[in-house]
Structure 1
Amino acid sequence: MKKLIPLLFISSSLTLLGGCQSAYYSAMESVGQHKRDILVSRVEDANESQEEAQEQFSSALEGLTALINFDGGELAEQYEATKDQYEASEKAAEEVSQRVNAIEDVAEALFDEWSDEIEEFSNATLKRQSQGKYKETVRKYKKVIGAMRKAESSMAPVLSALKDNTLYLKHNLNAQAVGALEGEYKSIKQDIEVLIKEMNVAIDSSKQFIANLKQ
C-alpha cells in the first residue's frame, strides 16, 4: 500500500500542473493573448537564449584557448576562470532547455485545441482549408522543434568536456595539467563549432516559422 502513495502523489502533481497550465492559457486569452501569440513569444525567447548560449560557449572556448596558451603566472586564477566559464555555460544550456520545453507545452495545447475545433465546422470548404493550414503548421513546427532539440543535444558533450577539464585542473594545479588538456582542446573546439552551427540552423528555422504564423 505504501508503494501506491508516491505514484498517487506524482499523478496528482501532474494533473495539478496540467490544470495550472490550462488556467494560465485561459487567463491569457481573457486579456487577448491567445496560444498562437504565446507560441510566437516563446519561440522568440528561445531564439534569444540560443544566441546567448552561442556567445557563452564561444567565450568558454576563448577561455580554454587562454588556458592552453598559459605560460606562467597564477594557475589558480586560470582554474577559477575555467570554472566560471563552465558554470556560465551550464546555466546558458539550462535556459535553452527550459525555453524549448515551454515551446512544446504551448504548442501541444494549441494543436489540441485547433484539432478539436476543426471538427466543429459545418462548412466543408472552411473545414478543409483549416485542416490544411493545421497540417502545414504542425509540419513546420516539428521541423523547428527538431532543430532546437538537435542543437540542445549538442550542448551535452561540450558541457561534459568543460566539466572534466575544470575538475582535472582543480585536482592538478600545475603546468603538466595544462599540457594534458591540450589533447582535449581540438575536440572541444570542434564540438563548439558544431553546436554554434546547429543553433544557427535552429534560429533560422524558427524565424521562418514565426513569419508563417504571423501571416
Structure 2
Amino acid sequence: MIENTPRYQNPIIALFAATLLLVGCQTTAYYDTLEKFGIPKRDLLVERVEKARDTQEDAKEQFKSALEQFSAVVNIDDGELKQQYDQFSADLEQSESKATAVKNQIDSVESVAKALFEEWKAELNQYSSDNLRQVSQQKLTETQQQYDKLIAAMKQAEQKIEPVLTLFRDQVLFLKHNLNAQAIASIQGELVEVESNVASLIEEMETSIQEANTFINAMNKDK
C-alpha cells in the first residue's frame, strides 16, 4: 500500500487549510488559494484519492468484522446471546460511521478533480504552441479517462454499502426484542443473504482500492 505523503509540512499552511475546510470553502477559490501556498490541485487530488482508498480499506475490514459478529450471533448458545448481540449492534454503528466516511472522501475527491480538470481545460487556450497544446490535451484526456474509471469503481463500491447496512439494521432491530433461541432460528436463514451481500461489497471495494492505486501510481509517475 502506498503511504500518504504529508502535504502541509508548514504549520501555518496546515492551520490555514484546516480553517478553510471548517468553514466549508471547498470551491475553486479555496483550491486556488492553496495553490498559492505551494499545494497544487494535482497533488491535492492524489492525496485525497489516497485518503479515499484508505477509508475504503478501513470500511472493508469493518464490514468483515460485522459479518463475523452476525455469524457469531447466529451460531451462539442462548446464554451468550445478549453479549454477542451487543457486539453486533456496536459493529453496526461502526459500519455506519465508516460508510459516511467513504461517502465524504469520495465527495472530496470529486470536488478537487472538478477544479483541476476545469483549470486544465481553460489553460489549453493559453498555449501559443500548437504542439504543446496537443501534448497537454492528450495528457488531460488520458488523466480524465483514468479518473473516470477510478471514480466509477469508488461509487460502485459505495452503492453496495447501503444494502448491507439495511440487512444488518434489520437483524439488530429484530434481535433487540427477541433475544432467545427461537429468534436465532428465525434469522439463521438470513445468514446466506448477508454473507452474499458482504462478499459482493468487499469485492467491489477491492476493485476500487486497486483502481485507486493504479491512478496514484500513474499520477506520481508523471511528476
Q: What do residues 94-132 of structure 1 show as CA deviations (whole Å, max 9, x unaligned)? A: 111100010000000000000000111110000011110
Bigger proportion of residues as helix: 1
Distance 1:80 1:126 in 2: 62
Of 92, 97, 100 in structure 1, the residue corresponding to residue 98 of structure 2 is 92
Q: Distance in 2 between matches of 1:20 and 1:148?
A: 20
Partner SS, residue 33 of structure 1 = coil
CA distance in 1, matches of 2:171, 2:48: 34
Choose which of 32, 46, 49 in structure 2 pairs with 1:40.
46
Report Cα offsets for 1:1-56 as digits up to 9, x if no partner.
xxxxxxxxxxxxxxx96x65233212311221110000000000011101101110
- For 2:111, the equivalent position in structure 1 comes to 105
Q: Tell me the secondary structure at the aligned position of residue 137 of structure 1.
A: helix
SS in 2 for 1:209: helix
Contact 2:26–2:111, Cα closer than 8 Å, also in 1 = no
> In structure 1, what is the Cα distance between the partners aligned to 2:114 and 2:27?
11
TM-score computed with the length of structure 1 as normaliser: 0.89
Partner Cα separation in structure 1 for residue 80 and residue 213 of structure 2: 45
Residue by residue over 1:117-170, the C-alpha shift from the partner in whole angstroms, topping out at 9 and shown as x without a partner, is 011111000001111001111111000000000001111110000000000001
1:161 aligns with 2:167: yes
Between the two proteins, the alignment pairs up a number of residues equal to 199
Q: Any idea what SS the aligned residue of 2:159 has?
A: helix
| TM-score where L is the length of structure 2 | 0.86
Q: Which residue of 2 aligns with 1:83?
A: 89
Bigger drift between 23-32 and 60-69 goes to: 23-32
Does 1:206 find its partner at 2:212? yes
Question: Following TM superposition, where does structure 1 have runs of at least 4 consecutive aligned residues deviating by more than 3 angstroms?
Answer: none
Partners of 2:90 and 2:184 in 1: how far apart?
17
Between the aligned partners of 1:151 and 1:209, the Cα distance in structure 2 is 17
Q: 1:58: which partner in 2?
A: 64
Q: Which residue of 1 aligns with 2:11?
A: none
Q: Which runs of 5+ in 1 are unaligned?
A: 1-15
Share of identical aligned residues, percent? Answer: 42
